[in-house]
Amino acid sequence: MTAPPKQLFRFTSLLIPLLLIAGLLALSGSKLIAMKVVAFLILPSGFLWITGLLLVCWPGVKGKTRALLTSAWVLFTLAGNPYVGNALLRNLEKPFYPFETPGEKFDVIILLGGGTAQSPAGKPALGTHGDRILKPAMLYQEGLAGKLITTGRSITERGADRLLSQETAEIWTTLGIPSESIIEVPEPRNTAEELTAVAGIAKQNPEWKRIGLSSSASHLRRAMKQADRAGLEVIPVPSDFRSQPMSFSPMYVIPQGRGFRDVQTALWEYLGMLL
C-alpha cells in the first residue's frame, strides 16, 4: 500500500473545530439545548470563536503567528465565557450576602446613580440594573427607611446631561413614596463625587445614625471604600446580584453576550479598585 499523501496529514488539524462542535452537540443532552448551541455558534461571537479556532489550526501557519492566534483565541474565549464572568462577579458580591436583608431601620438610604433608562418618549423607566431602584423603595415601603437619597447624572448622552437622580425620584413617587421623603443630589458625575456630596449633607443632619448605601452588589466594595474616604460611615444595602449557581451546559462554553457583559462589569470594578 502506498502511504497517504503528505498533504492529507497537513489538513487533518482542520478537523479540530468540527470535532469541537460535534462534542458540544453530543453533550447537549436534549434537542432544545442542541438548538441553542447551534444558535450561539451562528451568532457573531460564536462565529468569530469557531473562525478563530480554524485560523489557529490552519496548515502552514508559522510558529510565532500560531502562538499569537492561539493567545488571542484563548483570551476571546475567556472574555466571553459566562462561567468566568459569574465567578468574577461572585467574588465581588459574596461579602454582601449577609446584608441582603437588613435587621434594623435606616435613618436614610443613599442610592448611587444608575439603574434607570429612558423610554422612546423620554420618560424614566427601569434599566438593566433596575433592581437598584426597587430595593430602597421596597425597604421604605416596609418601614425600614426614613428617607431616601438619589444621586448622579449621566455625562455620556448626547445633548444635555441626563439627571439620573431625577429619573429615580420620578419612579419612586410613582411607586407611592412621598416627595418629601426623597432628597435629590443631581450634581455628582461619579461615585467619588456622589459620596463626597452626600457626606456634606450628612454633616448637616447629625440625627442620621444609621445610613445605608445602596448599589449593585458588585459595585459596593469599591463604593464602600469611597464612602470611607469621604468620611461617611455607611452600612451596605446590596441589590442587583448578578452571580448565581450555574450547572454545566455546552452552550455556556461558547463566548456570548452574557459572558462579555459580566466579565467586563467585574473587571471594571477591579480596575476601579486598583486605580
- What pLDDT is stored for residue 245 in this prediction? 92
DSSP string for residues in 55-93 = HHH-TT--HHHHHHHHHHHHHHHHHT-HHHHHHHHHHHH
- What pLDDT is stored for residue 154 in this prediction? 82
pLDDT at 9 over 60: no
Report percent pLDDT > 90 for the chain: 77
Q: What is the pLDDT of residues 224-257, one digit of tens each?
A: 999 999 999 999 999 999 999 999 999 999 999 9
Between 187 and 154, whose confidence is greater? 187
- What pLDDT is stored for residue 8 in this prediction? 56
Residues of the chain with CATH 3.40.50.620: 100-239
Q: What is the mean pLDDT of the chain?
A: 92
Closest-CA residue to 23 (of 61, 52, 50): 50
Q: Which amino acid is at 183?
A: I
**Chain center to CA of 191:** 16
Answer whether 0.85 is exceeded by the pTM: yes
- Whole-angstrom CA distances from 12 to 8, 15, 26, 74 are 7, 6, 21, 21
Closest-CA residue to 180 (of 213, 153, 140, 122): 140
**Dist CA 50 CA 152 (whole Å):** 42
pLDDT at 156 over 90: no
Q: Which residues of 42-71 are buried (b: 16+ CB within 10 A; e: fewer)?
A: eeebbeebbebbebbbeeebeeeeeeebbe
**Dist CA 124 CA 84 (whole Å):** 33
- Centre a 10 Å sphere on the Cβ of residue 26 and count the other Cβ atoms it contains: 10
pLDDT at 2 over 60: no
Class of domain 100-239: alpha beta
pLDDT at 60 over 90: no
Provide the pLDDT confidence category of residue 215 given band limits of 50, 70 and 90.
very high
pLDDT at 38 over 80: yes
